[in-house]
Amino acid sequence: MNNAILIVDDMEINRVILAEGFRDEYEILEAENGIQAIELLNTNNNIAAVLLDLIMPEMDGMGVLKQMNESGRIVHIPVFIITAESSEKMLMDAYNLGAVDVINKPFMMNFLKCRIGNIIELYRHRNDLEDIVNEQVERLNKVNLSMVETLATLIEFRDCESGEHVKRICGLTEILMTAVSEMYPEYYLPRHEIEKIVTASILHDVGKIAISDSILNKPGRLTKEEFEIMKQHTTKGCDILTQIPDIMDNDIYNYSYDIARHHHERWDGRGYPDGLVGDDISIWAQVVAIADVYDALVSPRVYKKAFDFETAVKMINDGECGTFNPKVLNAFNASADKIRFKE
């Protein structure tokens, strides 16, 4: 349980008075400017509240509040403003940055201890409740992910050539999405979004459930008519996903739907089912597309042997498997060592 109070004031007498008032119930931490306060916040996980002066040298109280907002600490740690005659605008700015109350000088310690103690308890209860909710959400997400993986396993049983295809696609998607995000600011996504996309890639071929075995597992090249039926796995995958949106996180569902429909689109518009061109194709669908092609090339099929790594990479770069976004291709080539390691 957090049980420290951080007192931030450039005047030592104020720190001494406040420290003596709370010392019996709390561990006391002191800082004489905002920079010291941030250092203590960064290194101490036991802080239950911050008593913060606004006007200080080096970094003032507003700077501390801004940094606490950026780090997210303002949500979990109540901040009380220490003031004697700060302007109304300054106090409103502090409230807008998340301060919860004002401590007026001179200090009325008995009243002050009750006010601060009550708010600390409220924050503790709220933080505990948030932890419980987060644990329940994490547990539910694990159950939902298990259901998604089970569905993907059913696809593999039907498509006897796929083997570990789904797991490999997840690994390749993670490598490529990370590389694209790091190399190209216009495609940047935070880590938690990349993780959702990786999960969504599990269901890229979910529509194959609706394709007949005679086509899905034909030991040879498909006829034109059969290929047109096979292409329907993209739209049929979306039809299936519309029936099960509640088994997964809403963002993962949206990524899954887009990837299932568009992982066979191509940069030049010659893909299917919608003939999308360029960045009309989402970056995550583009990434899963190249991952899917690469894995198909290096995996054995009843109608072909597996190509070696170098041959597969050359075929992709030479456009033998369709046209890809040059930036995604650059990320693919830059990740060659990681991709080879995944084999």
Q: How far apart are CA 265 and CA 272, in angstroms?
A: 5
Task: Write the DSSP assignment of 120-133 as a string of letters.
Answer: HHHHHHHHHHHHHH
- Which residue of the set 208, 218, 224, 236 is catalytic? 208
- Rounded to whole angstroms, the maximal C-alpha distance in the chain is 88
Amino acid 53 reads D
Q: How far apart are alpha carbons 159 and 334 in whole angstroms?
A: 31
Question: 135-138: long-range contacts at Cβ-Cβ below 8 A with a sequence spacing of 24 or more?
Answer: none
Tell me the C-alpha distance between 6 and 340, whole Å: 51
Cβ–Cβ < 8 Å for 54, 83: yes
**Is 218 part of the annotated catalytic residue set?**
no
Dihedral sign of CA atoms 165, 170, 172, 173 in order? positive
Are the C-beta atoms of residues 236 and 204 closer than 8 Å to each other? no
Tokens of 11: 């005047």
Q: The sheet that has 47-53: what strands, in order across it?
A: 27-31, 4-8, 47-53, 79-83, 101-104
Task: Determine contact, residues 276/288, Cβ cutoff 8 Å.
Answer: no
Residue 64's alpha-carbon distances to 52, 212, 247, 273, 309, in angstroms, are: 9, 63, 41, 53, 52
Residues catalogued as catalytic = 208
